[in-house]
Protein backbone atom coordinates (compact mmCIF):
# COMPACT_ATOMS: atom_id res chain seq x y z
CA UNK A 1 0.00 0.00 0.00
CA UNK A 2 1.16 3.53 -0.74
CA UNK A 3 0.43 6.60 1.33
CA UNK A 4 -2.64 8.38 -0.02
CA UNK A 5 -2.93 12.18 -0.11
CA UNK A 6 -5.95 14.15 -1.25
CA UNK A 7 -4.92 17.65 -2.39
CA UNK A 8 -7.97 19.89 -2.43
CA UNK A 9 -7.84 23.20 -4.29
CA UNK A 10 -9.91 25.57 -6.40
CA UNK A 11 -7.74 25.54 -9.51
CA UNK A 12 -5.05 23.38 -11.12
CA UNK A 13 -3.20 23.71 -14.44
CA UNK A 14 -4.04 22.95 -17.16
CA UNK A 15 -7.72 22.66 -16.20
CA UNK A 16 -8.27 26.12 -14.71
CA UNK A 17 -5.77 28.76 -13.59
CA UNK A 18 -5.93 32.30 -12.31
CA UNK A 19 -2.63 32.40 -10.42
CA UNK A 20 0.31 30.51 -9.00
CA UNK A 21 -1.81 28.17 -6.84
CA UNK A 22 -2.84 26.29 -9.99
CA UNK A 23 0.79 25.69 -10.96
CA UNK A 24 1.80 24.61 -7.48
CA UNK A 25 -0.85 21.98 -6.79
CA UNK A 26 -0.42 20.24 -10.13
CA UNK A 27 3.33 20.05 -9.93
CA UNK A 28 3.27 19.07 -6.25
CA UNK A 29 0.86 16.19 -6.96
CA UNK A 30 2.94 15.00 -9.86
CA UNK A 31 6.19 15.19 -7.89
CA UNK A 32 4.65 13.31 -4.96
CA UNK A 33 3.58 10.54 -7.33
CA UNK A 34 7.09 10.35 -8.75
CA UNK A 35 8.32 9.84 -5.18
CA UNK A 36 5.89 6.98 -4.48
CA UNK A 37 3.09 8.90 -2.74
CA UNK A 38 -0.39 8.30 -4.14
CA UNK A 39 -1.53 11.89 -4.56
CA UNK A 40 -4.95 12.78 -5.99
CA UNK A 41 -6.15 16.28 -6.81
CA UNK A 42 -9.68 17.34 -5.98
CA UNK A 43 -11.29 20.49 -7.32
CA UNK A 44 -14.55 21.93 -8.62
CA UNK A 45 -16.05 20.57 -11.80
CA UNK A 46 -16.01 23.86 -13.70
CA UNK A 47 -16.97 23.43 -17.37
CA UNK A 48 -13.32 23.89 -18.44
CA UNK A 49 -12.23 21.17 -16.01
CA UNK A 50 -14.93 18.73 -17.11
CA UNK A 51 -13.97 19.29 -20.73
CA UNK A 52 -10.27 18.68 -20.30
CA UNK A 53 -10.00 15.92 -17.68
CA UNK A 54 -9.62 12.42 -19.15
CA UNK A 55 -11.52 9.19 -18.46
CA UNK A 56 -14.12 10.69 -16.15
CA UNK A 57 -16.22 8.15 -14.27
CA UNK A 58 -18.76 8.62 -11.56
CA UNK A 59 -17.33 8.04 -8.08
CA UNK A 60 -20.32 8.98 -5.95
CA UNK A 61 -23.53 10.95 -5.68
CA UNK A 62 -23.66 13.40 -2.79
CA UNK A 63 -27.29 14.42 -2.27
CA UNK A 64 -26.93 16.73 0.73
CA UNK A 65 -24.27 19.27 -0.11
CA UNK A 66 -24.76 22.97 0.65
CA UNK A 67 -26.58 24.47 -2.30
CA UNK A 68 -27.95 21.13 -3.52
CA UNK A 69 -26.79 17.73 -4.72
CA UNK A 70 -23.38 17.06 -6.27
CA UNK A 71 -21.79 14.42 -8.39
CA UNK A 72 -18.22 13.32 -7.82
CA UNK A 73 -16.28 12.30 -10.90
CA UNK A 74 -12.96 10.52 -10.96
CA UNK A 75 -10.55 10.93 -13.85
CA UNK A 76 -7.03 11.94 -14.83
CA UNK A 77 -5.26 15.21 -15.60
CA UNK A 78 -4.75 15.65 -19.32
CA UNK A 79 -0.94 15.87 -19.57
CA UNK A 80 0.50 13.98 -16.66
CA UNK A 81 -2.28 11.51 -15.84
CA UNK A 82 -2.41 12.51 -12.15
CA UNK A 83 -5.74 11.30 -10.71
CA UNK A 84 -8.26 14.06 -10.23
CA UNK A 85 -11.66 14.24 -8.55
CA UNK A 86 -14.07 16.83 -9.91
CA UNK A 87 -17.12 17.89 -7.97
CA UNK A 88 -19.96 18.69 -10.32
CA UNK A 89 -22.64 21.01 -8.90
CA UNK A 90 -24.94 23.41 -10.73
CA UNK A 91 -23.05 26.30 -9.08
CA UNK A 92 -19.65 25.18 -10.34
CA UNK A 93 -21.02 24.40 -13.77
CA UNK A 94 -22.04 28.05 -14.12
CA UNK A 95 -18.47 29.27 -13.63
CA UNK A 96 -17.41 29.62 -17.20
CA UNK A 97 -14.89 32.47 -17.46
CA UNK A 98 -13.56 32.79 -13.91
CA UNK A 99 -14.01 30.58 -10.83
CA UNK A 100 -14.66 33.39 -8.35
CA UNK A 101 -16.11 36.45 -10.04
CA UNK A 102 -18.73 37.11 -12.70
CA UNK A 103 -18.19 38.98 -15.95
CA UNK A 104 -18.58 42.34 -14.13
CA UNK A 105 -15.83 41.37 -11.70
CA UNK A 106 -18.27 40.89 -8.79
CA UNK A 107 -17.83 37.90 -6.48
CA UNK A 108 -20.38 35.19 -7.25
CA UNK A 109 -23.18 35.32 -4.67
CA UNK A 110 -22.99 31.54 -4.08
CA UNK A 111 -19.23 31.26 -3.37
CA UNK A 112 -19.89 30.18 0.23
CA UNK A 113 -22.28 27.39 -0.82
CA UNK A 114 -20.09 26.23 -3.72
CA UNK A 115 -16.82 26.04 -1.81
CA UNK A 116 -18.69 24.77 1.25
CA UNK A 117 -19.91 21.95 -0.99
CA UNK A 118 -16.34 21.24 -2.09
CA UNK A 119 -15.31 20.88 1.56
CA UNK A 120 -18.25 18.61 2.39
CA UNK A 121 -17.48 16.43 -0.63
CA UNK A 122 -13.82 16.15 0.41
CA UNK A 123 -14.88 15.16 3.92
CA UNK A 124 -17.25 12.55 2.44
CA UNK A 125 -14.25 11.05 0.61
CA UNK A 126 -12.25 11.12 3.87
CA UNK A 127 -15.10 9.33 5.69
CA UNK A 128 -15.30 6.57 3.07
CA UNK A 129 -18.73 7.70 1.88
CA UNK A 130 -17.81 7.38 -1.81
CA UNK A 131 -16.44 4.62 -4.02
CA UNK A 132 -12.90 5.87 -3.35
CA UNK A 133 -10.33 4.71 -0.84
CA UNK A 134 -10.12 7.45 1.83
CA UNK A 135 -6.84 9.36 1.99
CA UNK A 136 -4.49 9.15 4.95
CA UNK A 137 -3.96 12.90 4.82
CA UNK A 138 -6.00 15.67 3.26
CA UNK A 139 -4.05 18.69 2.06
CA UNK A 140 -6.38 21.69 1.85
CA UNK A 141 -5.22 24.79 -0.02
CA UNK A 142 -6.33 28.39 0.61
CA UNK A 143 -9.75 29.56 1.81
CA UNK A 144 -11.60 27.56 -0.84
CA UNK A 145 -10.74 24.39 1.07
CA UNK A 146 -10.60 26.01 4.52
CA UNK A 147 -13.75 24.37 5.88
CA UNK A 148 -12.27 20.89 5.49
CA UNK A 149 -10.28 20.81 8.75
CA UNK A 150 -13.31 22.20 10.63
CA UNK A 151 -15.69 19.63 9.16
CA UNK A 152 -13.27 16.78 9.89
CA UNK A 153 -13.40 17.90 13.53
CA UNK A 154 -17.17 18.29 13.46
CA UNK A 155 -17.54 14.73 12.13
CA UNK A 156 -14.89 13.41 14.56
CA UNK A 157 -12.73 11.98 11.77
CA UNK A 158 -9.54 11.09 13.61
CA UNK A 159 -7.75 8.83 11.16
CA UNK A 160 -7.21 11.43 8.40
CA UNK A 161 -4.61 14.13 9.10
CA UNK A 162 -5.12 17.65 7.78
CA UNK A 163 -2.58 20.11 6.40
CA UNK A 164 -3.81 23.57 5.46
CA UNK A 165 -1.58 25.58 3.14
CA UNK A 166 -1.84 29.36 2.94
CA UNK A 167 -0.91 30.62 -0.52
CA UNK A 168 -2.32 34.06 0.08
CA UNK A 169 -3.62 35.43 3.38
CA UNK A 170 -5.35 38.33 1.61
CA UNK A 171 -8.04 36.10 0.13
CA UNK A 172 -10.08 34.95 3.10
CA UNK A 173 -13.47 33.70 2.03
CA UNK A 174 -15.44 35.80 4.56
CA UNK A 175 -19.22 35.45 4.42
CA UNK A 176 -22.26 36.49 6.49
CA UNK A 177 -22.64 34.41 9.65
CA UNK A 178 -26.17 33.46 8.69
CA UNK A 179 -24.69 31.17 6.00
CA UNK A 180 -23.50 28.86 8.79
CA UNK A 181 -26.53 26.55 9.17
CA UNK A 182 -26.70 25.97 5.42
CA UNK A 183 -22.99 25.10 5.45
CA UNK A 184 -23.40 22.48 8.15
CA UNK A 185 -21.09 24.24 10.60
CA UNK A 186 -21.89 23.46 14.22
CA UNK A 187 -22.83 26.35 16.50
CA UNK A 188 -19.83 25.81 18.80
CA UNK A 189 -17.43 26.61 15.94
CA UNK A 190 -18.98 29.98 15.23
CA UNK A 191 -17.42 32.08 17.99
CA UNK A 192 -14.18 34.10 17.86
CA UNK A 193 -12.35 30.99 19.10
CA UNK A 194 -13.71 29.21 16.08
CA UNK A 195 -14.17 30.70 12.64
CA UNK A 196 -15.88 34.02 13.37
CA UNK A 197 -13.83 36.93 12.03
CA UNK A 198 -15.00 40.52 12.52
CA UNK A 199 -18.63 39.47 12.58
CA UNK A 200 -18.25 37.28 9.53
CA UNK A 201 -17.59 33.63 8.98
CA UNK A 202 -14.12 33.05 7.59
CA UNK A 203 -13.19 29.95 5.62
CA UNK A 204 -9.53 30.92 5.88
CA UNK A 205 -9.72 31.26 9.63
CA UNK A 206 -11.42 27.87 9.84
CA UNK A 207 -8.48 26.28 8.03
CA UNK A 208 -5.94 27.98 10.28
CA UNK A 209 -7.88 27.24 13.46
CA UNK A 210 -8.66 23.57 12.94
CA UNK A 211 -5.93 22.02 10.72
CA UNK A 212 -3.43 19.65 12.34
CA UNK A 213 -0.65 21.61 10.64
CA UNK A 214 -0.61 24.86 8.72
CA UNK A 215 1.99 25.66 6.12
CA UNK A 216 2.85 28.56 3.94
CA UNK A 217 4.96 28.85 0.85
CA UNK A 218 8.20 30.58 1.91
CA UNK A 219 10.27 31.10 5.06
CA UNK A 220 10.04 34.87 4.92
CA UNK A 221 6.27 34.92 4.42
CA UNK A 222 5.93 32.45 7.32
CA UNK A 223 7.53 35.01 9.63
CA UNK A 224 5.88 38.03 8.03
CA UNK A 225 2.36 36.70 8.61
CA UNK A 226 3.01 36.67 12.34
CA UNK A 227 3.14 40.49 12.25
CA UNK A 228 0.25 42.99 11.97
CA UNK A 229 1.70 44.44 8.74
CA UNK A 230 1.32 41.19 6.81
CA UNK A 231 -1.11 39.23 8.98
CA UNK A 232 -4.34 40.56 7.42
CA UNK A 233 -5.96 40.46 10.85
CA UNK A 234 -5.01 36.82 11.43
CA UNK A 235 -1.56 37.36 12.96
CA UNK A 236 -2.97 36.84 16.46
CA UNK A 237 -4.37 33.42 15.64
CA UNK A 238 -1.28 32.50 13.62
CA UNK A 239 0.90 33.35 16.61
CA UNK A 240 -1.32 31.20 18.77
CA UNK A 241 -0.84 28.32 16.33
CA UNK A 242 2.81 29.06 15.73
CA UNK A 243 3.98 25.58 16.74
CA UNK A 244 1.80 24.08 14.04
CA UNK A 245 3.02 26.49 11.35
CA UNK A 246 5.53 25.26 8.77
CA UNK A 247 7.28 27.00 5.90
CA UNK A 248 7.67 24.88 2.78
CA UNK A 249 8.67 26.84 -0.24
CA UNK A 250 7.12 26.19 -3.63
CA UNK A 251 8.97 24.50 -6.42
CA UNK A 252 9.10 25.42 -10.08
CA UNK A 253 7.81 22.96 -12.65
CA UNK A 254 11.08 22.62 -14.51
CA UNK A 255 9.47 20.58 -17.31
CA UNK A 256 7.04 23.37 -18.20
CA UNK A 257 9.36 26.34 -17.65
CA UNK A 258 12.46 25.15 -19.44
CA UNK A 259 14.13 27.30 -22.12
CA UNK A 260 15.96 24.20 -23.42
CA UNK A 261 12.79 22.51 -24.51
CA UNK A 262 9.82 24.82 -24.15
CA UNK A 263 7.50 24.10 -27.08
CA UNK A 264 5.76 27.47 -26.64
CA UNK A 265 8.78 29.60 -27.58
CA UNK A 266 10.17 30.23 -31.05
CA UNK A 267 13.68 28.93 -30.42
CA UNK A 268 15.09 27.04 -27.48
CA UNK A 269 18.24 28.09 -25.67
CA UNK A 270 20.41 27.18 -22.70
CA UNK A 271 23.00 28.78 -20.48
CA UNK A 272 25.81 27.33 -22.61
CA UNK A 273 24.12 28.17 -25.92
CA UNK A 274 22.01 31.30 -25.33
CA UNK A 275 21.71 32.32 -29.02
CA UNK A 276 18.01 31.45 -29.16
CA UNK A 277 17.22 34.24 -26.69
CA UNK A 278 17.67 36.93 -29.34
CA UNK A 279 15.23 35.10 -31.65
CA UNK A 280 12.78 34.99 -28.75
CA UNK A 281 13.27 38.72 -28.25
CA UNK A 282 12.48 39.46 -31.89
CA UNK A 283 9.48 37.14 -31.76
CA UNK A 284 8.20 38.89 -28.63
CA UNK A 285 8.49 42.31 -30.28
CA UNK A 286 6.66 41.03 -33.34
CA UNK A 287 3.97 39.31 -31.30
CA UNK A 288 3.25 42.55 -29.45
CA UNK A 289 3.61 44.79 -32.52
CA UNK A 290 6.74 46.70 -31.43
CA UNK A 291 9.70 47.58 -33.69
CA UNK A 292 12.12 44.60 -33.70
CA UNK A 293 15.08 46.53 -32.31
CA UNK A 294 17.63 44.02 -30.94
CA UNK A 295 19.31 46.72 -28.84
CA UNK A 296 16.21 48.06 -27.13
CA UNK A 297 16.11 46.81 -23.53
CA UNK A 298 12.73 45.15 -23.02
CA UNK A 299 11.11 45.54 -19.63
CA UNK A 300 8.23 43.12 -19.08
CA UNK A 301 5.32 43.13 -16.66
CA UNK A 302 3.49 39.80 -16.48
CA UNK A 303 1.14 39.21 -13.59
CA UNK A 304 -2.26 39.86 -12.14
CA UNK A 305 -2.69 43.64 -12.48
CA UNK A 306 -3.72 44.35 -8.92
CA UNK A 307 -2.96 46.35 -5.79
CA UNK A 308 -0.99 43.37 -4.39
CA UNK A 309 1.24 43.50 -7.48
CA UNK A 310 1.74 47.28 -7.11
CA UNK A 311 0.09 48.12 -10.41
CA UNK A 312 -0.65 51.62 -9.07
CA UNK A 313 3.00 52.20 -8.22
CA UNK A 314 4.16 50.86 -11.60
CA UNK A 315 1.77 53.24 -13.35
CA UNK A 316 3.48 56.18 -11.65
CA UNK A 317 7.01 54.92 -12.13
CA UNK A 318 6.90 53.67 -15.72
CA UNK A 319 6.27 57.01 -17.48
CA UNK A 320 9.37 58.35 -15.73
CA UNK A 321 11.37 55.31 -16.82
CA UNK A 322 10.14 55.56 -20.41
CA UNK A 323 11.04 59.25 -20.61
CA UNK A 324 14.45 58.67 -19.07
CA UNK A 325 15.41 55.72 -21.34
CA UNK A 326 14.39 56.69 -24.84
CA UNK A 327 15.22 53.31 -26.36
CA UNK A 328 13.52 51.08 -23.77
CA UNK A 329 10.43 49.07 -24.66
CA UNK A 330 7.75 47.98 -22.20
CA UNK A 331 5.57 44.90 -22.73
CA UNK A 332 2.69 44.17 -20.38
CA UNK A 333 0.68 40.96 -20.15
CA UNK A 334 -1.94 40.79 -17.45
CA UNK A 335 -5.46 40.97 -16.23
CA UNK A 336 -6.91 42.32 -13.03
CA UNK A 337 -8.52 45.43 -11.62
CA UNK A 338 -10.15 47.45 -14.39
CA UNK A 339 -8.75 50.87 -13.39
CA UNK A 340 -5.18 49.55 -13.59
CA UNK A 341 -5.84 47.75 -16.86
CA UNK A 342 -7.03 51.10 -18.23
CA UNK A 343 -3.93 52.79 -16.81
CA UNK A 344 -1.66 50.43 -18.76
CA UNK A 345 -3.70 50.86 -21.93
CA UNK A 346 -3.35 54.64 -21.47
CA UNK A 347 0.43 54.24 -21.23
CA UNK A 348 0.39 52.43 -24.56
CA UNK A 349 -1.43 55.39 -26.11
CA UNK A 350 1.19 57.81 -24.74
CA UNK A 351 4.12 55.74 -26.02
CA UNK A 352 2.69 53.85 -29.00
CA UNK A 353 6.03 52.78 -30.53
CA UNK A 354 7.51 51.64 -27.25
CA UNK A 355 4.76 50.19 -25.09
CA UNK A 356 2.58 47.18 -25.89
CA UNK A 357 -0.14 45.89 -23.59
CA UNK A 358 -2.16 42.71 -23.80
CA UNK A 359 -4.99 42.62 -21.30
CA UNK A 360 -5.93 39.00 -20.93
CA UNK A 361 -4.76 35.67 -19.72
CA UNK A 362 -2.58 33.85 -22.19
CA UNK A 363 -0.19 31.01 -21.40
CA UNK A 364 1.67 31.14 -24.73
CA UNK A 365 2.26 34.88 -24.43
CA UNK A 366 3.50 34.34 -20.87
CA UNK A 367 6.19 31.96 -22.13
CA UNK A 368 7.07 34.33 -24.99
CA UNK A 369 7.35 37.18 -22.47
CA UNK A 370 9.66 35.35 -20.09
CA UNK A 371 11.82 34.06 -22.94
CA UNK A 372 12.10 37.28 -24.96
CA UNK A 373 12.28 40.09 -22.41
CA UNK A 374 15.47 41.34 -20.77
CA UNK A 375 13.96 42.25 -17.40
CA UNK A 376 10.77 41.58 -15.52
CA UNK A 377 9.30 44.26 -13.28
CA UNK A 378 7.48 42.52 -10.44
CA UNK A 379 6.41 44.82 -7.64
CA UNK A 380 4.52 43.27 -4.70
CA UNK A 381 3.11 44.78 -1.52
CA UNK A 382 3.32 41.24 -0.18
CA UNK A 383 4.33 38.04 -1.93
CA UNK A 384 3.79 34.67 -0.29
CA UNK A 385 6.16 33.05 -2.78
CA UNK A 386 6.20 34.59 -6.27
CA UNK A 387 6.62 32.07 -9.04
CA UNK A 388 6.71 34.62 -11.88
CA UNK A 389 10.18 36.05 -11.13
CA UNK A 390 11.54 32.51 -10.92
CA UNK A 391 10.05 31.61 -14.28
CA UNK A 392 11.66 34.67 -15.84
CA UNK A 393 15.03 33.84 -14.25
CA UNK A 394 15.06 30.45 -15.91
CA UNK A 395 15.02 32.28 -19.26
CA UNK A 396 17.77 34.75 -18.31
CA UNK A 397 15.23 37.56 -17.82
CA UNK A 398 16.27 39.48 -14.73
CA UNK A 399 13.64 40.25 -12.09
CA UNK A 400 13.32 43.71 -10.57
CA UNK A 401 11.18 42.91 -7.56
CA UNK A 402 10.04 43.95 -4.10
CA UNK A 403 12.01 42.76 -1.11
CA UNK A 404 9.12 40.89 0.51
CA UNK A 405 8.00 37.32 1.15
CA UNK A 406 9.28 34.55 -1.04
CA UNK A 407 11.18 37.02 -3.21
CA UNK A 408 13.64 37.57 -0.35
CA UNK A 409 14.32 33.84 -0.25
CA UNK A 410 14.73 33.34 -3.99
CA UNK A 411 16.18 36.44 -5.68
CA UNK A 412 19.74 37.47 -4.74
CA UNK A 413 19.97 41.27 -4.87
CA UNK A 414 22.51 43.02 -7.16
CA UNK A 415 22.03 46.14 -4.97
CA UNK A 416 21.43 49.65 -6.16
CA UNK A 417 25.07 50.68 -6.50
CA UNK A 418 28.59 49.30 -6.68
CA UNK A 419 29.66 46.05 -8.26
CA UNK A 420 26.92 43.40 -8.00
CA UNK A 421 27.83 40.80 -5.37
CA UNK A 422 28.70 37.26 -6.46
CA UNK A 423 25.59 35.22 -6.97
CA UNK A 424 23.31 38.23 -7.70
CA UNK A 425 20.30 37.17 -9.75
CA UNK A 426 18.01 40.21 -9.68
CA UNK A 427 17.43 43.70 -8.34
CA UNK A 428 15.33 44.28 -5.23
CA UNK A 429 13.69 47.43 -3.92
CA UNK A 430 11.93 48.36 -0.69
CA UNK A 431 8.59 49.91 0.02
CA UNK A 432 5.78 51.21 -2.12
CA UNK A 433 7.15 54.50 -3.45
CA UNK A 434 7.34 54.95 -7.24
CA UNK A 435 10.81 56.49 -6.81
CA UNK A 436 12.13 53.28 -5.27
CA UNK A 437 10.79 51.28 -8.19
CA UNK A 438 12.21 53.79 -10.68
CA UNK A 439 15.62 53.61 -9.01
CA UNK A 440 15.60 49.81 -9.22
CA UNK A 441 14.65 49.85 -12.91
CA UNK A 442 17.35 52.47 -13.57
CA UNK A 443 19.89 50.24 -11.86
CA UNK A 444 18.80 47.34 -14.06
CA UNK A 445 19.24 49.45 -17.21
CA UNK A 446 22.70 50.54 -16.05
CA UNK A 447 23.76 46.94 -15.46
CA UNK A 448 22.26 45.88 -18.79
CA UNK A 449 24.45 48.45 -20.57
CA UNK A 450 27.50 46.69 -19.20
CA UNK A 451 27.59 43.06 -20.39
CA UNK A 452 30.45 42.13 -18.03
CA UNK A 453 28.08 42.86 -15.13
CA UNK A 454 24.85 41.73 -16.78
CA UNK A 455 25.95 38.30 -18.04
CA UNK A 456 27.02 36.91 -14.65
CA UNK A 457 23.62 37.99 -13.27
CA UNK A 458 21.91 36.17 -16.14
CA UNK A 459 24.06 33.06 -15.50
CA UNK A 460 23.18 33.10 -11.81
CA UNK A 461 19.50 33.53 -12.59
CA UNK A 462 19.45 30.71 -15.13
CA UNK A 463 21.31 28.28 -12.91
CA UNK A 464 19.36 28.91 -9.68
CA UNK A 465 17.75 25.65 -8.51
CA UNK A 466 14.17 25.98 -7.29
CA UNK A 467 13.00 22.55 -8.31
CA UNK A 468 10.59 20.47 -6.24
CA UNK A 469 13.13 17.94 -4.97
CA UNK A 470 13.71 19.58 -1.58
CA UNK A 471 10.17 20.89 -0.86
CA UNK A 472 8.52 17.60 -1.75
CA UNK A 473 10.52 15.86 0.95
CA UNK A 474 9.39 18.46 3.45
CA UNK A 475 5.75 17.89 2.48
CA UNK A 476 6.16 14.13 2.86
CA UNK A 477 7.70 14.66 6.32
CA UNK A 478 4.81 16.97 7.27
CA UNK A 479 2.22 14.45 6.07
CA UNK A 480 3.96 11.72 8.05
CA UNK A 481 3.74 13.74 11.27
CA UNK A 482 -0.01 14.17 10.97
CA UNK A 483 -0.99 10.77 9.59
CA UNK A 484 -2.48 8.18 11.97
CA UNK A 485 0.31 6.34 13.78
CA UNK A 486 -0.40 2.97 12.12
CA UNK A 487 0.23 4.33 8.59
CA UNK A 488 3.14 6.65 9.27
CA UNK A 489 5.72 4.26 7.91
CA UNK A 490 4.11 4.60 4.47
CA UNK A 491 5.26 8.21 4.27
CA UNK A 492 8.75 7.72 2.93
CA UNK A 493 10.09 9.55 -0.10
CA UNK A 494 11.14 6.96 -2.67
CA UNK A 495 13.89 7.69 -5.19
CA UNK A 496 12.35 9.63 -8.06
CA UNK A 497 10.84 7.36 -10.69
CA UNK A 498 10.03 8.08 -14.33
CA UNK A 499 6.39 8.90 -15.04
CA UNK A 500 5.94 5.62 -16.96
CA UNK A 501 6.70 3.61 -13.79
CA UNK A 502 4.19 5.36 -11.52
CA UNK A 503 1.66 2.72 -10.45
CA UNK A 504 -2.01 3.04 -11.41
CA UNK A 505 -4.30 4.48 -8.77
CA UNK A 506 -6.81 2.02 -7.43
CA UNK A 507 -10.06 3.85 -6.85
CA UNK A 508 -11.88 1.36 -4.70
Answer yes or no whether residue 385 interacts with ligand GLC by CB under 6 A: yes
- Residue 361 found at the interface with ligand ADP (CB under 6 A): yes
Among 141, 172, 218, 388, binds ligand ADP (CB under 6 A): 388
C-beta of 159 vs 432, nearer to ligand ADP: 432
Task: Compute how many residues bind ligand GLC; rule: CB under 6 A.
Answer: 14
Q: Which does 217 bind (CB under 5 to 8 A by kind): ligand ADP, ligand GLC, none?
A: ligand GLC
Nearer to ligand ADP, 74 or 335 (CB): 335
Q: Are 8 and 147 in contact, with CB atoms under 8 Å apart?
A: no
Closest Cα to residue 309, out of 337, 272, 285, 286? 337
Site string for ligand ADP, 98-127 (x = CB under 6 A): ------------------------------
Range in contact with ligand GLC (rule: CB under 6 A) among 155-163, 312-320, 384-392, 442-450 = 384-392
| Whole-number Cα distances in Å, 27 to 16, 18, 340, 484 | 14, 16, 31, 26
Residue 78, SS3 per DSSP: coil
Q: Which of 62, 137, 387, 412 binds ligand ADP (CB under 6 A)?
A: 387
Verify binding: residue 335, ligand ADP, rule CB under 6 A.
yes
Minimum separation from the CB atom of position 385 to ligand GLC (A): 3
Asked if residue 386 binds ligand ADP (CB under 6 A), the reply is yes
Looking at beta carbons, which residue is closest to ligand ADP? 20
> Is 249 near ligand ADP (CB under 6 A)?
no
Which of 334, 379, 399, 405 is in the footprint of ligand ADP by CB under 6 A? 334
Helices 387-394/20-34 angle, 10° precision: 70
Supply the minimum distance, in Å, between the C-beta of residue 218 and ligand GLC.
Answer: 8
Choice between 221 and 448, CB closer to ligand GLC: 221
Partner interacting with residue 161 (select from ligand GLC, ligand ADP, none; CB below 5-8 Å by kind): none
Choosing from 12, 13, 15, 24, the residue that interacts with ligand GLC (CB under 6 A) is 24
Point out which span in 1-9, 84-92, 193-201, 362-370 binds ligand ADP (CB under 6 A): 362-370
CA distance 359 to 455: 31
Of the listed pieces 14-22, 72-80, 224-232, 275-283, which binds ligand GLC according to CB under 6 A?
A: 14-22
* Choices 183-191, 381-389, 439-447, 497-505; region in contact with ligand GLC by CB under 6 A: 381-389
Q: Is the peptide bond before 359 cis (omega within 30 degrees of 0)?
A: no
Output b/e per residue, 434-461; b: 16+ Cβ within 10 A: bebbbbbbbbbbebbeeeeebebbbebb
Determine if 20 is a binding residue for ligand ADP (CB under 6 A).
Answer: yes
3-state helix, strand, coil in the chain (%, to 5): 40, 20, 40
Out of ligand ADP, ligand GLC, none, which partner does residue 216 contact, by CB within 5 to 8 A per kind? none
Helix (H) / strand (E) element for 75: namely strand 70-76
Residues 6+ apart with CB under 8 A from 211: 140, 149, 162, 163, 164, 244
Binds ligand GLC by CB under 6 A, chosen from 59, 147, 373, 387: 387
Which residues on neighbouring strands pair with residue 246, listed in sequence order? 215
C-alpha–C-alpha distance, residues 32 and 492, integer Å = 11
Q: Is 140 left (phi over 0), alpha (psi -120 to 50) or beta?
A: beta
Nearest approach, Cβ of residue 14 and ligand GLC (Å) = 16
336/386 with CB nearer ligand GLC: 386
Is the separation of the CB atoms in 455 and 274 below 8 Å? no
180 near ligand ADP, judged by CB under 6 A? no
Q: Using CB under 6 A, pick the residue from 6, 20, 39, 280 that binds ligand GLC.
A: 20
If you ran DSSP here, which 8-state letter would residue 160 be given? S
Cα dihedral: 367, 383, 399, 372 (round 10)? 10
Q: Which one of ligand GLC, ligand ADP, none interacts with residue 251, CB within 5 to 8 A by kind?
A: none
Beta-carbon count within 10 A of 507 CB: 14
CA nearest neighbour of 397 among 421, 357, 366: 366
For residues 212 and 483, give the distance between their C-alpha atoms in angstroms, rounded to a whole number: 10
The least distance separating ligand GLC from the CB of residue 9, rounded to whole angstroms, comes to 10
| Residue from 27, 113, 141, 303 binding ligand ADP (CB under 6 A) | 303
- Kindly state the greatest CA–CA separation across the chain: 67
Least distance (Å) between residue 362 CB and ligand ADP: 5
Q: Whole-angstrom Cα distance, residue 440 to residue 416?
A: 7
Contact residues: ligand GLC, CB under 6 A:
19-21, 24, 167-168, 217, 250, 383-387, 406
Contact residues: ligand ADP, CB under 6 A:
19-20, 23, 303-304, 333-335, 361-363, 366, 385-388, 391
Amino acid sequence: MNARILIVCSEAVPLVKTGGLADVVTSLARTLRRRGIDATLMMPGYPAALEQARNLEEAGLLPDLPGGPGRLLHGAMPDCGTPVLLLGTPGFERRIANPYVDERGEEFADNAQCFGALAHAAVAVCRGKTALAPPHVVHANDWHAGLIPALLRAHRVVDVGSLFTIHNLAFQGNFPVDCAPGLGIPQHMLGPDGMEFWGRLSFLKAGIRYADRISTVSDTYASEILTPRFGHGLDGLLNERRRALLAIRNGVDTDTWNPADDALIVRNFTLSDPRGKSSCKRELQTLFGLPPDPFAPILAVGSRITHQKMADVALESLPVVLRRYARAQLIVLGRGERRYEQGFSGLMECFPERVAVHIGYDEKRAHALHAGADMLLHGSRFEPFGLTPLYSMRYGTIPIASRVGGIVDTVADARLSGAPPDGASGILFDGEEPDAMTAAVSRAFALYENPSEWHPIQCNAMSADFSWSQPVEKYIAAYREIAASDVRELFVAQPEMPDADIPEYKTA
